[in-house]
Chain A
Amino acid sequence: MNEPAGNIPIDSKIKPALTSLLYQLADDDFILAYRGSEWLGLAPHIEEDVAFSSISQDTMGHAAMFYQLLSNLGEGNVDSLAHAREASERQNAVLLELVNGPGHYLSSAQYDWAFAVVRNYFYSQAKKIRLDSLKNSSYQPLAEVALKVNMELYYHLLHWKTWVIQLMQAGGEARTRMEAAIGKVLADFEGVLNLGPLAKEMAEHDLVEKEEVLKQRWLFIMKPVFESVNLSVSEADIAMKNGNGRIGEHTADLDDALSTLSEVYSINPAASW
């Protein structure tokens, strides 16, 4: 986390697009890893608990790497970036902040495993596509981080894909629950694929490919998977029902998450913990 990528001077024309892209990458991983950490001890079986917490840990590590890149650009220290920003300053996709299901993570959690596997699979695939593109980013420190993150992502993707296919093929209650979860995830998946108001500049400066190209790539890769489980999904199903997180629109779920995850940090942000 403390490996400065060398404060490479950044063209002021590029900086807004670059920082926005980094905030999206960092905030997406950070909030999803947080949601994953709430699942701890509650997964369907012990083996899955071990695997899921390993994935959440990787994802939190990725967030830390992206926050470090922001820190190197003068955006502040990594812990304040992760813990001290208001919901309106966060650029994560709304889908990733939504609660895991009814109840509280310490007492009455009735979490939805179907939602967990679908959200994680769809997101991991979108993240993989984005990272493959970022490996060729004109911003070298980001290209280097993308390379590292990509190696771990392969296993995440395999893990979630296996779950989704298995539960979709099980039929019965599992199928019903999975279809409901897919509907819920797609209703906000545009928010994940979206790169925000500076998407055009990101592509122009070769930071990442065009939003539409990445989106079509996701649809192309997912199509045979959907077909293999007899599910028809069209582009029109993909929406942004609960707002665009890239411009700071969020739900009350994020406010609750932020107050929990910064509870100890906020006792004294200046203290060493």
Chain B
Amino acid sequence: MSEALFYQEMTEEEKYEQFMKRINTGEKIEADDWMPEDYRMTLIKLISMHGISEIMGALPEKEWVPKAPSLKRKLGIMAKVQDEMGHGQLLLRVAEDLMKPLGKTREDIMQDLFSGKLKFHNVFHMEAPTWGDAGLIGWLVDGAAIITQTNMLNASYGPYARALKRICAEEVFHAQHGEAIIMALAEGTDEQRAMVQDAVNRWWEALLMFFGPGDASTTGTSKQDTTIKYKIRTKTNEDLRQDFFTKYIPRVLSLGLTLPDETMHFDQERELWIYKQPDWNRFKDIIKNNGPKSQERLGLRRTAYDTNKWVREALNTAN
């Protein structure tokens, strides 16, 4: 009896059991494999949000691409934002494969973005008013992204794990690019130093929010239990936030910068960073597209989408 036929005769419970056995022994699930419905839905939500965040994430930096202050910086930030778009493309393709059995396409992803059904990361709803923000996004936002993505490098879903390997490798360059901008500013004139400090103050709360709420009691829902159960990730949101503090707080302080949280300290006994919680109600509001730049950036994408409608139609004719 062929394996496929054998599989067909299994009950849903048996399939589920076998699936769990596979992921618990470290086997990778591929796009065409059987998977429980909530696994598929969790992945679609996670990966399409990740993909669209990469794409929306190009917009705050886009502001600074034409304005970068030297040829070297112009080339660096162009390369960086191009990578982000490339990551978005890679991830959307992974999401598209998962959506195929549901009859959904990239068009649905774009429409869900415009309608607010598909959310994007809180950090990309924020303002980036100075060149200091351009550096800080590369350094700390990408730094935070490396931490959350590294946590999923061994994800049970093979296509996502492989995409993340490539993405993480490139993100390391982005963080270096951001750090180089920040270093130049931190070692520069008083005005340049003030630019970095302002950016740190402005972004700190958003960076804490980036890792998500500690548990469901904060915001009502949290997918982290499901993603841990299915071996998509290993650490909790709070673990990741603590890792971020451990890695970056010493670096921020060593540049002579301060953190906008006087309560921040490391509790030696509990081996934990103690910090002021961000305003989680504000977080919920931001990701509902009510952040300072949410509507403007969605508007920009929507306008471009509408303006280019004739091009997509022409391509469909040609194909």
Contacts and interface: CB of A to CB of B under 8 A. Distances in A.
Given A40-B65, A105-B66, A79 B71 contact: yes
Contact of B312 (A44, A53, A79): A44
Secondary structure at the B interface, as helix, strand, loop or mixed, is helix
B85 A264 contact: no
Interface residues of B, number: 51
Contact of B296 (A34, A63, A107, A170): A107
A110 B309 CA distance: 11
A45 B85 CA distance: 11
A264 B86 CA distance: 27
Contacts of A265: 69-70
B318 A41 contact: no
Contacts, number: 152
Given A41-B304, A57-B79, A50 B85 contact: yes
Contacts of A272: 184, 187-188
Interface stretch (A11-19, A86-94, A172-180, A219-227): A172-180
B67 A271 contact: no
Contacts of A264: 64, 67-69, 131
A110 B62 contact: no
Contact of B73 (A67, A167, A170, A273): A273
A41 B317 contact: no
A78 interface: yes
Given A54-B82, A170-B317, A265-B69, A109 B310 contact: no
Interface in B50-77: 55, 58-59, 62-75
Nearest to A81: B71
A44 B313 contact: no
Given A61-B75, A264-B131, A37 B307 contact: no
B71 A82 contact: yes
B5 interface: no
Given A40-B62, A57-B82, A172 B314 contact: yes
Contacts of A105: 62, 66
A273 B65 CA distance: 14
B63 A106 contact: yes
Interface in A103-120: 103, 105-111, 113
B196 interface: no
Interface residues of A, number: 56
A270 B192 CA distance: 12
A63 B68 CA distance: 15
B311 interface: yes
A158 interface: no
Contacts of A82: 71
B11 interface: no
A41 B73 contact: no
A45 B65 contact: no
A261 B256 CA distance: 30
Contacts of A46: 55, 85, 88-89, 92
B147 to A, nearest CB: 25
B278 interface: no
Contacts of A1: 71-72
